[in-house]
Amino acid sequence: MKILVTGGLGFIGSHTVVELQHEGFEVVIIDDLSNASIDVLEGITKITGTKPHFKALDLKVKADVQQFFEAHKDIAGVIHFAASKAVGESVQSPLKYYENNINTLVYVLQELSQLTHKNFIFSSSCTVYGQADELPISENAPVKPAESPYGNTKQIGEEIIRDACKVDQSLNSIALRYFNPIGAHSSAEIGELPIGAPQNLVPYITQTAVGLRDQLSVFGDDYPTKDGTCVRDYIHVVDLAKAHVVALQRLIASKNKSNFEIFNLGTGKGSSVLEVVKSFEKVSGTKLNYKIVARRDGDVTEAYAETTKASNDLGWKTELTLDDAMASAWKWEQKIRNK
């Protein structure tokens, strides 16, 4: 079966392509390379022994999207990662985010509606919950007003898909709300490769340890948490990638209970910023230069997933630990710096 992965050279997309190929799917990747490197294609091929089809394409150009789907009418499913994803940048450039994250979603759904097989997996986010009223956060938790244009695009994206599914009962979609993806493939052939200063904790840790950054700033140690630092649910990217494959297989096998489903993807366990730092120091044997600084605007105190629904309905749960993720991230960082 031929599966389209948009944004398939990105961090989560590339790991998902690997897992799809391991399961025997034929993969076609679309990526505009605005936040990814063509070198990732080589990394995927080294891991799986199969080079996925690749098309450099800007999904904001509707005519190009139409042309692509015209040439690939045999696609059996779409996993949609392609989107801008930096919270801070979205606050500075909201219109860029709305164009890139909303228009492209609409164009892909419009073309998908013309296909025989209308199976769609959407890359969503736990940011839709904001600071949840209860922990752990279940799929029934209310969606809070977004803290950023990025978060808002995920909320709007889900609403668009829900509306499309109401009108077209043959369109089957799953929105996967992930918590905090970290780590890299154990081969160190692919991993997280932020362009410019990292927006996420783990690449900032590894870049500090390797000497690329002077110091890691820990934003606040006066939160009402176990050690005063923010708590998040850090999930290994390989576990996350496998969940996308399981979700796709659910739709292909018509095991979904409705034509629009939502699942949280996390470990179900919260780890504080300092616990992540300690895990890194343990697996790397490297002392990290970090400093406690003032709180950062927009950070929620604590967020971790209720994982019962994903476990019971999808038949998926995480297998890799925080230490596994930190060790793989460090191995990847050292490899790319030694290049």
Domain 201-232+268-338 classification at class level = alpha beta
- pLDDT on residue 158: 98
Task: Give yes or no for residue 339 having a pLDDT over 80.
Answer: no
CATH second-level architecture of 2-181+236-265? 3-Layer(aba) Sandwich (3.40)
Task: Give yes or no for residue 131 having a pLDDT over 90.
Answer: no
Rounded mean pLDDT of 282-289? 97
**Phi/psi at 36 (nearest 5 deg)?**
-150, 160
- pLDDT on residue 87: 82
Please report which confidence band the pLDDT of residue 338 belongs to, taking 50, 70 and 90 as the band edges: confident
Task: Give yes or no for residue 24 having a pLDDT over 90.
Answer: yes
Checking DSSP bridges between strand 180-182 and strand 75-80, what pairing results, if any? unpaired
Residue spans of the domains in the chain: they are: 2-181+236-265, 201-232+268-338
Give catalytic residues, as residue numbers: 150
Whose tokens are 């950023």? That residue is 148
Task: Give yes or no for residue 298 having a pLDDT over 90.
Answer: no
Q: For the segment 81-108, what is each residue's pLDDT rounded down to a tens digit?
A: 999 988 888 989 999 999 999 999 999 9
| Percent of the chain whose pLDDT exceeds 70 | 100
**pTM of the prediction?**
0.97
- pLDDT on residue 88: 80
Checking DSSP bridges between strand 271-272 and strand 231-232, what pairing results, if any? antiparallel
- pLDDT on residue 147: 84
User: Before 149, cis peptide (omega within 30)?
Assistant: no
Q: For the segment 200-246, what is each residue's pLDDT rounded down to a tens digit?
A: 999 999 999 999 999 999 999 999 999 999 999 999 999 999 999 99
| Percent of the chain whose pLDDT exceeds 90 | 91
SS3 50: coil
- pLDDT on residue 297: 80
Rounded mean pLDDT of 22-36? 97
Strand stretches in 207-329, DSSP E: 216-219, 231-232, 234-236, 260-265, 271-272, 290-293
